[in-house]
Amino acid sequence: MTALLTTNLGELPLLGRGKVRDLYAVGDALLLVATDRISAFDHVLATGIPGKGKILTQISLFWFDLLSDLVPNHLITADVTRFPAALHPFRDQLEGRSMLVKRASMFPIECVARGYLAGSGWKEYQARGTVCGLPLPAGLQDGSRLPEPLFTPATKSQDGAHDENISFAAAEQLVGPADAAELRRLTLDLYARAAGHAESRGLILADTKFEFGRTQEGIILADEVLTPDSSRFWERSAWKPGGPQPSFDKQFVRDYLESIHWNKQAPAPGLPGDVVERTQAKYLEAFVRLTGRQLIL
């Protein structure tokens, strides 16, 4: 199969293309289409991962269903046969990788939950003994489990650059104290439910980020949810604090790019076939492990 790198839905208004998703206006709703694009070091690579968009979409749909009693979400339908008739001619681009969703006024922060020390959290801890300004005990290692899950918000990057971790006080200034408190509660509740499910599947959910919006009915969960693109899933049986953990994400891609000494400037390089295949297999394994289902790409 070939990778779908760009969608073309005729006259349908294109609102934007993100690193992975193309966003279209469909009347009062929005159409999210997950392509097979893959990014690393804040650049979209020249080569995609065939089927990645379908895997991400199907993982999100699984979680939307599992978490729906904790918070409403933006999903209207992912069944292409129930999409407006104008979309039916593009079924080959939409099947399995698209969602018709509600419009919402999105909060301008990424809502991050951390149960383990990794990534930018580990870097800050090494420098200051904190994560997003929250003090942590001394003696933790890269990959250590935190005493309790933390809510560590971040600003949303508008230009493809890194999101920046911020304090809870800064989040309160951006969205107001009441909404900040509610977003923290929802984020930690969702993380607890998801981490428990992952644990039952032999996986550790080290950290994840959520995006929330507001409709007339209240706060809803939006975008993608608990995929390998937005979360760190680790193999529970292989977990050993003291360094990077084997993860279900694009680590093969990052490792390859480091090995060729790419300067991390545009244009981004392509990927060799074995890196593409191994990355696809890791995403697919994440789907099977989390859902207990098989997925035919």
Q: What CATH code is carried by the domain that includes residue 99?
A: 3.30.200.20
Q: Does the pLDDT of residue 160 top 60, yes or no?
A: no
How many Cβ atoms sit within 10 Å of the Cβ of residue 168? 18
For 165, the token pair is 């971790």
Residue 158: band (very low, low, confident or very high) from pLDDT cuts 50, 70, 90:
low
How many Cβ atoms sit within 10 Å of the Cβ of residue 184? 19
Residue 159: band (very low, low, confident or very high) from pLDDT cuts 50, 70, 90:
low
Q: Which domain holds residue 75?
A: 1-103
Predicted TM-score (pTM) above 0.85: yes
Residue 271 domain flag: no
186 and 232 part of one domain: yes
Question: At which of 103, 126, 160 does a domain end?
Answer: 103
85 and 161 part of one domain: no
98 and 123 part of one domain: no
Question: At which of 103, 121, 145 does a domain end?
Answer: 103
Query: In sequence order, what are the residues at sequence separation of 6 or more whose Cβ sits closer than 8 angstroms to the Cβ of residue 57?
Result: 34, 78, 96, 97, 98, 99
In the chain, % helix, strand, coil (3-state, to 5) comes to 35, 25, 40
Q: Does the pLDDT of residue 232 top 80, yes or no?
A: yes
- DSSP-assigned states of every residue in 205-270: EEEEEEEEEEETTEEEEES--S-TTTEEEEEGGG--SSSPPPBSSSHHHHHHHHHTT--S-SSPP-
122 and 208 part of one domain: yes
191-204 pLDDT per residue, tens? 999 999 999 999 99
